[in-house]
Structure formats: C-alpha cells, structure tokens
Structure 1
Amino acid sequence: MSVRSIPAAALLAAALITVIPLNDAGAQAPDRSRPAVRNVIFINGDGMSAAHREAARLFHAGLDGRLTMDTLPVSGQLTTSPDDPESAITDSAAGASAWATGVRTYNGAISVDPDGNPLPTLGALAKAAGKSTGLVTTAQVTDASPAAFFSNAVDRDAQDDIARQYLEKTKPDVILGGGEDWWLPAGTPGAYPDQPAEDPEEGSRGTEGNLIEQARRSGYQYVSTPAQLAAAGKGRLLGLFANEEMFQQRAEGQGDIYAPVVSLAAMTEKALTNLSTDRDGFFLLIEEEGVDEFAHRNNGQRTLQTMGSLDRAVAVALGYAQRHRDTLIVVTGDHETGGLAVEDVDPDDESGDAGSASVEDGPFPVKGSGFSFVIDWTTTGHTGQDVPVTAYGPFADRFTGKHPNTHVFKVLRPLLQERL
C-alpha cells in the first residue's frame, strides 16, 4: 500500500470523529468531583528511558539533585511493544501512534491500524472539541512522533503529505521545529539553503507544492529565525528552523552538532503564549528528538546535552502549569534507545573492551562531587525496556502503576474531548 493510497475521505473521517463513548476500550471518563482539565501538555523525550534520566540527573543535578521532570509528583511505567509482524521492538512511529490513537500498530505506521486504516488522533479530537492545538519539536515537525498526533499515513516517510494534512485537515495552531525541506518543492530552497556544508544531503524535497505559501494563505504567520519568532503575534504560527532536524546526529567528534537556532524551551514558551489565549484550552505536544538520535550514535556527550534541553522545556511547561492549575503535564518517552546503562568508572570492567558488543562512553562528572560515571551502550538501536512516565496536575494519578503505552490515549482522550 502506498502512502497516498489512503482515500482522502477516509482521512477526513478519521480526523473529524468527535462522538466516541468515553468508557469504551477501557477509557476513563472525567471525574466530575475533580477540577476540570483545560490544557494538556504532553512531553516526549524520544528514546528516553529511566537510565537516560538517571545519567542526566547525575550530570546536570548531582547526587542529591533532581531533574525537573523527576519532581513531578506522580510516576509510573509504560510498556512499548508494537503490533508488528516482524518485530517485538517499537519504532517512534508505532510508539507515538499508540499514544495518539490507543491502538498498537506496525513500525513505520502513522496513526493507522495494522491494516492501514486511519484512526482518530488526540490532536484531531482536541481540535474538534474546540481546543487549540500545537506541536514543538527539535526534529522535523513532520517526523514520526508529532505526525502521529496530527495525521494518518501508512508510511512515516511521507513527510510532505503529512505537512499537507496539517494545513488541510487537522490544522494545528502552532507548528514549531525543523524540516523546512518537506514544505518546499525539490530545487526550491527556503530560509535554509540546500546542500549545507554540515550535511550536503539535505535539501528541499517536497512533492506537494509550496506548503509554506499555502500556510500563509491559510492564515499562518511564518517565521524562520529567533527574532521573527520573538516578534510573531498571537494566532496561527508556523516556524521552521532547519532543513531537517535542528542538529547533526553523528558520533562524538565526527561532525556532531547540537546548537538549535531556537531552543526547545524558547519554542515551548512561544507555543504556550499563543495557545493560552483560547478559553476552551489547548493540547500541546513537546518533543526533544536529540535524545534518540544521539543515543543511536552512542554519543553520550550529546545525549546528556539534549536531556538538559528537554528538562529546561519541562521547567517552562511546569511553570505554566503551576500558574494555571487546570493544566495536566505528562512526561515520558516512546521507547528506549541505545541499551544505555550507567556504570562506575572501573578499569577492570571488560564490557567496553575492543571487540565487545558494548561500548563505554565517558567518563562524565557527577555534578558537585568528585565522582564520575560512564555510559555503557549495548546497541545502536531501540530496546524493549519499559519507559518511565511522570505527571503533574489534575488526573495525573491515572498514570500511577504499569500500563501499556495505549493507556496514554485512554487517559487523555476524555479529558481533551470534554467541552468546558
């Protein structure tokens, strides 16, 4: 089945489904005795497991410190298995689709079931309920995780078609991140030139026309620099700040760069400013893609750096939620990447020796102490580890315990569909 073989009518029907019994498939209806949830902020550390969080805690906060994401009062675990005939280990597309639709599916799928049928997504359901919606990521804005919340595709690689769906179907109010290449026809560079020195393979490659101009005609402000972002007013906002991801995901010392034009925290702040004007509330997806990409490269230094970026964005979101007590924050990861383990510095540990399947990376200092630790990578791929979830705000306690990743949809759907 080709990416574009999903009929347009079927895609539209999936996006516009608004009347779903709140208790079907195990969904939990809102508890009228509790404060209403007006806003939901869902934060994805792509590829982040408990070990990534512990390594970042030691590096950024020290032995007695805590990451902001670990101060959220409710915690639990999520399993990550896909429904894929060829693998028990998920990719980001299947993982995010399980969150966004409540249905496990195959790797590479964007919010379609295992037979390729489009499913209603949290982003579309929130919009249909009258809420504003947005996405913020250091990946392409059309990459697998954000795409799963706002589009349907049988193949995650259809990023230009996903961008078109954003504009024509699900219409997120705020779209901030990378991936300008997918919004422009091949041979038509935009603010970021084709074949840049840091990665000559990057360049405009869309097949859906000039989607930036289409966005402008649809009422989006378009920005591509920090100054333009800061100056942008309220209302619909599209910001693209890189050809592809907002970094270069390579091994340490081999051209690896993590220096986004605009930080994840700054994009989060702007998104919250724009979305918070809606009296009906909002749904915002925030993603740090660098955790996954640099873990794929077994690049401990950049993985720790991106974890710091993610935690600063969590701090922005938490500050907002503390001022707006009708806001629910959920922080988790779609899967684990790298088989990361935090280990003591031990010259007699043979696991990182030449020829070993694992690679030791470091040492890295434990902040505020004389100690150090190493990161032991056991793979460059994904693993089947559970991922931690922490939450803050009304109904956060529904994430206590161990659940399948589809539990995210079951908790968030009734909250996002409730009209206030």
Structure 2
Amino acid sequence: MKTRSRRLLVAGIAGATAAGVALAAAPLATADEAGRHHGNHRSVIFVNGDGMSAAHREAARLNLKGRFGQLEMNKLPAAGFEATTPDDPSTVITDSAAAATAWATGKKTYNGAISVDPSGKALTYLGAEAKKAGKATGLVTTAQVTDASPAAFFSSTAQRSQQSEIARQYLEVSKPDVILGGGEDWWYPAGNPGEFQDNPAKDPTEQSKSTAGDLVAKAKSKGYQYVSSPEQLAKAKSGKLLGLFSNEEMFEQRPEGEGDLYAPKPTLQAMTEKALSTVSKNKKGFFLFVEEEGVDEFSHENNGEKMLKAMAALDQTVGMLRKYVAKHPDTLLVVTGDHDCGGLTVEDTGTTDESGDGISAEDGPFTVAGSKYTFDLDWTTSGHTGVPTPVTAAGYGASGLVGSYQNTHVHTVLRNVLLGR
C-alpha cells in the first residue's frame, strides 16, 4: 500500500453506527435467564482488540465482509461505548496499562500503572479473585504475555516495564492455569537465549533479559508444561500450560514495506482454542483473557495493511468464541478495545487533501470485499486518542454492557458475572 497524501481529520464517535456496532435487537434476556440456572459456576471470556476503535471495526468490516456484511464481533447482540480517560496527572489520554487496570480492578489510575491506584497502592485484580473463587484462569495474547493488558488482570506493579516481576507474580501469586503468547525474553536471564535466538536478524535488539532468574525453569518446577511451537501446543496435555512463541511480540511492527510482518505462529485462534479447552474443564467456571496486540502496534506505525490482517485474525477468533457461548449460556463474551490508536477514519478514495499540513497520513486504497469499491484509511496520529471505544457482548450478563459508561463499569459487569455479586 502507498501513503498518498497528508490531511488532518478527526475520527468522531459518530462513526460508530456506520461501524455496525449497535446492530441486533436480539433477546438478551434469554442468555441471562438461562445462565441463572447454573448458580455461581459462570464464566467470562474477555477479548481486547488493543487500540481498536469504531473506525478499525468499520475498516475491517468493509475489507473482510463487504458493504453490507458484518464482523463476528459486531454480531454480538449487546452494544455500548466506554470512555477511557485515566486518572493521570498529565493527560486525559490513556495507555493500555491504565485502561486494563480499570477493567481488572474497577479503579482509575495513571498511565503505566499495573493494578495499583494513583498513590501506588496495590489493588485487587480480577484474575486473582477468579482463582480464589475456585475458577480456572488463563491469558492469551499476540503481545508479550507480560505486556500491560494481560498483566493488569494477573499482577500488580508500579510500572508496566517490570515484565519479569510480572512473570514472577504469575507463577507465585495469581497462578493462571494457561499463559500463551510472546515475550520469552523476559523469562530467561541474559546469556540464556531460550528457544529463540538472541539478536535475530529480523530485530537485533531482542535478547533475553529476565531480572528474576530462569522463570521458565521456575514454571516447570511449579507444574507448568512449557511449549514453544505450534506443534508442541497442539500436543500439550490438559493441565497448567505456559507457551512462549517469540522473543517479544509475535509479529514485526514497522511501517509498510519496512520489515513489517504479521504471521503469528501459532495463530491467535489456535492459542485461544487450546486455552479454552483447558480452562473450560473447571466445573466452577473460568476467566479467560484474549488479546490481539497487532491492531495497536500496526496503528502506531500507520500500517493499514497489517492492521487489517490483525483485525481479520481477531474476528476469526471471535467467531469461534461466539459458537462456544451459544452452547454455554452461563458464559459472558465481551469484545472491546482499550483505547483508540492512530486517530483513524475511513474515507472514500480519490478525495483531495483537506489540510496539506503534513500531519496525517492517507493509506490505501483497500478493497471492499465482493465489490468494485475501495476505501482509504486516514491516520491523524501515531499515538492514542481519547475517543470512546465500542463494546459488544453476548451471553450471561451481556445486557449490563448496553449504553455509555466509563471503562470501570466493564469491571463491575465482569465481576458480577464471575462472582455472583
């Protein structure tokens, strides 16, 4: 794809309806009422398209499903919007750490914080509460497994950069049953490359750097199976499972044509299927966090081509999860994004440059599936913005996510479903 022209545009929340987010008039109460018969054995699958706003969803809908088709995530019957403002002394624009902390704890905090309040005091996070209630827990991501979003649900640190400390807390404190994704560098000390070589040609900066010793060995000593390839993942037996499949993220985030690559192995869906098959065996229910990180990272690079590939992988995974929830009405499925990234909007091709100021980048054209039409993506920043993000949901308690609210409200709904309160 080419970067054609420059313009400054703001993608407003008015694009939400066009994105097909508020879609169905499905009978939400049906799933809710069915779930009530299962007592406190309920489950939650929480899916984060990191950096995903209404514009990302609409771009993916056009590209994957055509003019009048719908994404799997947009077929979920309950829809709402969450405001993402952090409690930060210097900005009203959130990062992933503060946003995930709001989901995991129900409290606002500063950017960079992992489940601590603005004074640095540790907060109670949902992964630990679910485990205490006897439920299985797990996390799946195409980022480092110790990256900010999963970390907030299973650890507590003053700064998101403390990734080896986050890994240590996984093993010794929150004890998720399944941990799958990237980030092996944070689990092995310097000088021990693990399964993935240090300083690889695709990114010479990557190398092992654990500050807490050999955490893979520690995981094994605590009963985790360790796998590092798709083949090993497929053969893994039920039980505690740690899978690390790359040095850092499971892709290469760069501008288009500059070494960018999106081809996670194993795929997000394969990791999610393995995690789901494991945690769903718990008769008391489970909490499973699933994240596609590429949406955010490629939006930071204004890379529409790879962002759309990440969206495709995410939506395919949601399709699989929709089928699971349809058969298990005591489970809540939620799909959302922690913040917008890129200040993205969707435009017609061939439009003129409105600003000529060199601030924003127009990317495209991209095809509309099954048609002669094309569209452009217009990026207005390489950072995050403060627009609300769409929330769609299905299953037990989904109706609680209809409307407009702060991101802390999502925590309230998740916790009520999991803990019956």
Same fold (TM over 0.5): yes
Greater shift in the superposed pair: 406-415 or 327-336: 406-415
Sort the Cα spacing of 1:39 and 1:388 in 2 relative to 1 into closer, same or farther, 3 A. Answer: same
1:328-375 Cα deviation digits (max 9, x unpaired): 100000000000000001242334x5x421110000000011110000
Distance 2:76 2:419 in 1: 24
Q: Are 2:72 and 1:68 aligned?
A: yes
User: Secondary structure of 1:40's partner?
Assistant: strand
Distance 1:34 1:181 in 2: 44
Aligned match for 1:275, one of 274, 279, 295 = 279
Q: Which residue of 1 aligns with 2:391?
A: 389
Contact preservation (8 Å) 1:122, 1:416: no
Distance 1:363 1:45 in 2: 23
Q: Give the Å deviation of 1:154.
A: 0.2
Distance 2:212 2:272 in 1: 28
Aligned match for 2:138, one of 130, 134, 144 = 134
Sort the Cα spacing of 1:312 and 1:164 in 2 relative to 1 into closer, same or farther, 3 A. Answer: same
Greater shift in the superposed pair: 30-39 or 47-56: 30-39
1:26-71 Cα deviation digits (max 9, x unpaired): xxxx999944461100000000000000000000000111000000
Distance 2:276 2:36 in 1: 24
Aligned match for 2:301, one of 279, 297, 302 = 297
Following superposition of structure 1 onto structure 2, how do residues 136-285 of structure 1 map, counting pairs within 5 Å?
A: 136-285=140-289
Sort the Cα spacing of 1:401 and 1:195 in 2 relative to 1 into closer, same or farther, 3 A. Answer: same
Distance 1:197 1:318 in 2: 39
Greater shift in the superposed pair: 273-282 or 320-329: 320-329
Q: Which residue of 2 aligns with 1:53?
A: 57
Give the aligned residue type for 1:238.
L
Q: Give the Å deviation of 1:313.
A: 1.1
Distance 1:239 1:263 in 2: 12
Q: Give the Å deviation of 1:412.
A: 1.3
1:249-302 Cα deviation digits (max 9, x unpaired): 000000001111110000000001111110001000000000000000000001
Contact preservation (8 Å) 1:129, 1:418: no
Give the aligned residue type for 2:96.
S
Q: Give the Å deviation of 1:82.
A: 0.1
Q: Which residue of 2 aligns with 1:14?
A: none
Sort the Cα spacing of 1:302 and 1:33 in 2 relative to 1 into closer, same or farther, 3 A. Answer: closer
Q: Which residue of 2 aligns with 1:18?
A: none
Q: Which residue of 1 aligns with 2:380?
A: 378
Distance 1:403 1:69 in 2: 19
Q: Which residue of 2 aligns with 1:26?
A: none
Contact preservation (8 Å) 1:268, 1:316: no
1:128-153 Cα deviation digits (max 9, x unpaired): 00000000000000000000000000
- TM-score under structure 2 normalisation? 0.90
Following superposition of structure 1 onto structure 2, how do residues 316-331 of structure 1 map, counting pairs within 5 Å?
A: 316-331=320-335
User: Secondary structure of 1:157's partner?
Assistant: coil
1:195-221 Cα deviation digits (max 9, x unpaired): 011000001000101000110110000
Distance 1:279 1:338 in 2: 42
Q: Which residue of 1 aligns with 2:28?
A: none
Aligned residue pairs total 388
- TM-score under structure 1 normalisation? 0.90
Q: Give the Å deviation of 1:310.
A: 0.6
Give the aligned residue type for 2:160.
R
Q: Which residue of 2 aligns with 1:19?
A: none
Contact preservation (8 Å) 1:178, 1:246: yes
Q: Give the Å deviation of 1:324.
A: 1.4
Distance 2:251 2:223 in 1: 29
Distance 2:197 2:42 in 1: 40
Give the aligned residue type for 1:342.
V
Contact preservation (8 Å) 1:141, 1:176: yes
Q: Which residue of 2 aligns with 1:401?
A: 403
Contact preservation (8 Å) 2:366, 2:376: yes
User: Secondary structure of 1:373's partner?
Assistant: strand
Give the aligned residue type for 1:207.
T
User: Secondary structure of 2:59's partner?
Assistant: helix
Contact preservation (8 Å) 1:102, 1:406: yes
Contact preservation (8 Å) 2:35, 2:330: no
Give the aligned residue type for 1:269.
E
Distance 1:111 1:169 in 2: 14
Q: Which residue of 1 aligns with 2:104?
A: 100
1:228-266 Cα deviation digits (max 9, x unpaired): 000000000000000000001000000001111110000
Give the aligned residue type for 2:148.
A
Sort the Cα spacing of 1:93 and 1:158 in 2 relative to 1 into closer, same or farther, 3 A. Answer: same
Contact preservation (8 Å) 2:304, 2:363: yes
Give the aligned residue type for 1:268.
T
Distance 2:210 2:322 in 1: 36
Structure 1: 4+ residue segments shifted above 3 A: 30-37
Give the aligned residue type for 1:394.
Y
1:364-397 Cα deviation digits (max 9, x unpaired): 0000111100000000000000000000001100
Distance 1:197 1:223 in 2: 23
**Alignment RMSD:** 1.4
Distance 1:401 1:235 in 2: 39
